[in-house]
């Protein structure tokens, strides 16, 4: 009798164990069936280099407009898909806007702003060595024109208050501050009584402005710098020094600057991760005419450029840094005969013989070891 009770107890224990196991398996299958929580949403940022229409470029834009005014949209149509798909798209305007005749040297017609807007650019840096070519009136006209086209701007200002304001841009869930500075103004003095007209490149000021942008609510701070030596595909010693100094600046352990975008070199330069921050020493000219080296020989490298594309994700903890999880460069070329910006990889896919241009761009961009930090060529 006792033995039978033991057998029953053992059998009952086995049933209970099996039932518990079955229940646990049921819960496990339900848990595995639940969808994983969505990853925190980040954003993509693309940045292109100088817009510098020479006379041949203006001739093409006038032809595309049917001989009346200027139309820059066809010129930029090949990059419109890439630019417009980004959460935030930035460019650099090298020359100021003149009147619609386009007759003044080293100026651009106001229709350029409409072309940039139609392509998908959200904001452009305007601090350059040509910012004061038409004095304070040129600054005023340029910024008024960009406002009218719905393109934000930074680097030059019409008033002291505007110069002190932070250009905050929405990029998906993030607020991005764009700051811009130029190393010089070709010797043209700042307008009398208006020292705030153009942001001059001073590292102490850049850091102070970056910190002010963070206090104003910026999740990510992007600094556009017009610097470097024209026609030189290697960053010069001053660029390297400034990159180290600016990326080393921190507040409470968090970098003050999250991305540096360089212009003015007229040719692509290296991308590099410095102190944990991506630096593009030179994007190259997105739109320009024929370029010549110091010996007066036409330099085809002056018509090459890149678009940088960076994917940011939110910090793991409040107050942390938005991190770049993917860094890419997209090779570009300005076809001076056709008057068109060319997406090099896409053109190669369609049969164009541009592999030499693509390889030259890739070699320069990766020349400071950015591949080891994850930089890849995008499409």
Over the stretch 262-284, which tens digit does the pLDDT of each residue have?
999 999 999 999 999 999 999 99
15-24, 100-109, 178-187, 367-376: least confidently modelled range: 15-24
Token reading at 77: 């149509």
> Nearest Cα to 333, choosing from 355, 309, 363?
355
Give residue 205's pLDDT.
Answer: 98
201-207 average pLDDT score: 98
The whole-number pLDDT of residue 19 equals: 42
pLDDT above 90 (res 13): no
pLDDT attached to residue 289: 84
- As a whole number of angstroms, the distance between CA 198 and CA 346 comes to 37
Residue 17 lies inside a defined structural domain of this protein:
no
pLDDT at 10: 37
Q: What is the pLDDT of residue 36?
A: 62
For residue 123, list its beta bridge partners. Answer: 90, 152
**Considering the domain boundaries, does residue 32 fall inside one?**
no
How many CA atoms are closer than 13 Å to the CA of 152, on its beta-carbon side?
Answer: 18
In a domain, 143, yes or no: yes
Do 113 and 65 contact (CB within 8 A), yes or no? no
Instruction: pLDDT band for 14, please (50, 70, 90 cuts).
Output: very low
Tokens found for residue 137: 């009136």
**35 in a domain, yes or no?**
no
Of residues 23 and 185, more confidence is placed in: 185
For residue 76, is it within any domain? yes
Q: How many Å apart are CA 157 and CA 1, to the nearest integer?
A: 100
Q: What is the pLDDT of residues 106-145, one digit of tens each?
A: 789 999 999 999 999 999 999 999 999 999 999 999 999 9
Q: Is 3 part of any domain? A: no
How far is it, in rounded angstroms, from Cα 9 to Cα 30? 31
pLDDT tens figures, 299-326:
667 799 999 999 999 998 988 999 999 9
- Say if 25 falls within a structural domain: no
The reported pLDDT for the residue numbered 3 is 40
Query: How far is Cα 193 from Cα 182, in angstroms, rounded to an integer?
Result: 19
What is d(CA 316, CA 359) in angstroms, rounded to the nearest whole number?
Answer: 37
Domain that holds residue 371: 46-377
Give percent of the chain above pLDDT 90. Answer: 80
Cα(326)–Cα(71) distance, integer angstroms: 34
Run of H or E including 278: strand 277-280
pLDDT at 106: 72
Tell me the per-residue pLDDT of 319-376, one tens digit each, with 9 for 90 and over: 899 999 999 999 999 999 999 999 999 999 999 999 999 999 999 999 999 999 999 9
Question: Would you state the pLDDT for residue 101?
Answer: 55
d(CA 344, CA 311): 21
Nearest-angstrom CA–CA distance, 246 and 114: 34
- 301: DSSP letter: G
Domain count, the chain: 1
More confident residue, 34 or 48: 48
Of 280, 236, 227, 286, the closest CA to residue 258 belongs to: 280
The mean of the pLDDT values for the chain is: 89
- Reply yes or no on whether the pLDDT at 97 is more than 70: yes
Residue listed under structure tokens 């007209």: 197
* CATH number for the domain that contains residue 289: 3.60.21
Would you say residue 33 lies in a domain? no
Which of 35-49, 60-74, 247-261 has the lowest average pLDDT? 35-49
């Amino acid at each position: 009798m006792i033995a039978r009770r033991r057998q029953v107890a053992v059998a009952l224990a086995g049933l209970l164990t099996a039932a518990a196991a079955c229940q646990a398996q049921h819960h496990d299958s339900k848990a595995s069936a639940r969808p994983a929580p969505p990853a925190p949403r980040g954003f993509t940022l693309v940045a292109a280099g100088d817009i510098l229409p020479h006379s041949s470029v203006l001739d093409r834009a006038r032809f595309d407009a049917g001989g009346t005014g200027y139309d820059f949209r066809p010129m930029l149509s090949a990059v419109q898909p890439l630019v417009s798909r980004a959460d935030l798209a930035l460019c650099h305007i090298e020359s100021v806007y003149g009147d619609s005749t386009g007759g003044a040297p080293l100026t651009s017609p106001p229709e350029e702003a409409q072309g940039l807007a139609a392509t998908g650019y959200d904001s452009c840096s305007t601090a350059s060595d040509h910012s004061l070519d038409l004095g304070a009136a040129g600054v005023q006209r340029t910024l008024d024109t960009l406002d009218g086209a719905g393109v934000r701007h930074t680097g030059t200002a019409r008033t002291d208050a505007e110069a002190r304001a932070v250009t905050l841009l929405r990029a998906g869930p993030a607020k991005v501050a764009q700051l811009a500075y130029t190393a010089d103004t070709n010797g043209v003095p700042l307008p009398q009584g208006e020292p705030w007209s153009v942001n001059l490149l001073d590292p102490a000021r850049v850091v102070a402005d970056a910190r002010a942008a963070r206090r104003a609510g910026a999740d990510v701070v992007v600094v556009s710098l017009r610097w470097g030596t024209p026609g030189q595909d290697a960053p010069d010693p001053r660029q390297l020094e400034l990159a180290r100094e600016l990326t080393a600046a921190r507040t409470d352990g968090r970098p003050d600057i999250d991305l540096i975008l360089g212009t003015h070199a007229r040719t692509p330069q290296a991308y590099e991760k410095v102190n944990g921050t991506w630096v593009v020493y030179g994007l190259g000219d997105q739109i320009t005419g024929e370029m010549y080296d110091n010996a007066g020989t036409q330099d085809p490298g002056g018509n090459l450029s890149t678009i940088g594309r960076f994917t940011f994700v939110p910090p793991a903890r409040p107050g942390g840094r938005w991190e770049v999880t993917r860094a890419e460069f997209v090779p570009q070329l300005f076809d001076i005969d056709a008057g068109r910006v060319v997406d090099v990889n896409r053109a190669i896919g369609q049969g164009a013989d541009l592999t030499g241009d693509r390889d030259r761009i890739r070699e320069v961009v990766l020349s400071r070891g950015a591949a080891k930090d994850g930089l890849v060529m995008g499409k």
